[in-house]
Chain A
Amino acid sequence: DTEVTQTPKHLVMGMTNKKSLKCEQHMGHRAMYWYKQKAKKPPELMFVYSYEKLSINESVPSRFSPECPNSSLLNLHLHALQPEDSALYLCASSWTSGKGNEQFFGPGTRLTVL
């Protein structure tokens, strides 16, 4: 099973709402990632978790709060977002290091902030 699943597929929220994005993988990977992708742009790395610990935060605003409850799950909590945060949010997973650590992506959550 080389699948990364993400829920929901689509999300519309107001600037005062609190919502969460969820990501799950059952490949035994110990590294998980959040990316943000704007239209016609490449994915931009937001966060990296390695062995359930945050290892990279690419200076992401605090209105995005990641959480890794266990090795299979990754959440992204959203609060007080801005319209410019509207994008496709992609989750990925991989082995942690060395060879064979290519990242597998989920289908993404398309977020619209009104």
Chain B
Amino acid sequence: QKEVEQDPGPLSVPEGAIVSLNCTYSNSAFQYFMWYRQYSRKGPELLMYTYSSGNKEDGRFTAQVDKSSKYISLFIRDSQPSDSATYLCAMRGIYNDMRFGAGTRLTVKP
């Protein structure tokens, strides 16, 4: 079993839709949770960072963490074609050994 599981998609939605991206994990030592967006042939860009269970909102993005279920989510409201990218969940414990999910390829169609 992989430490971090993420459905690679691809996921295609119409413009304006709400997008839900999810990851599950098995390592209870993970304490810090991140979502990165990566455009083709570019480096990952940090979108959201959380370290406690609950919701965190930033503009059209909401990150949700449920440590009891070992489940994290990213919601994108009013999705735009410019949101088309690969979304990577990432997590780490107290050491700097970050682990990524497989990444979900998202396409938002105009």
Contacts and interface: CB of A to CB of B under 8 A. Distances in A.
Interface of A: 4, 6, 31, 33, 40-45, 48, 50, 55-56, 58, 88, 90, 94, 96-97, 99, 101-108, 110
B96 A101 contact: yes
B43 to A, nearest CB: 4
Q: Which 6 interchain pairs have the tightest Cβ spacing? A: A42-B100, A105-B43, A102-B49, A107-B43, A105-B44, A108-B43
- Chain B interface, >50% SS class: loop
Contacts of B32: 99, 101-102
B100 A103 contact: no
Nearest to B100: A42
A7 to B, nearest CB: 13
Contact of B43 (A96, A99, A106): A106
Contacts of B99: 45
A110 B90 CA distance: 22
Interface string B28-61: 0000101010000111111001010000000000
Contact of A97 (B8, B34, B94): B94
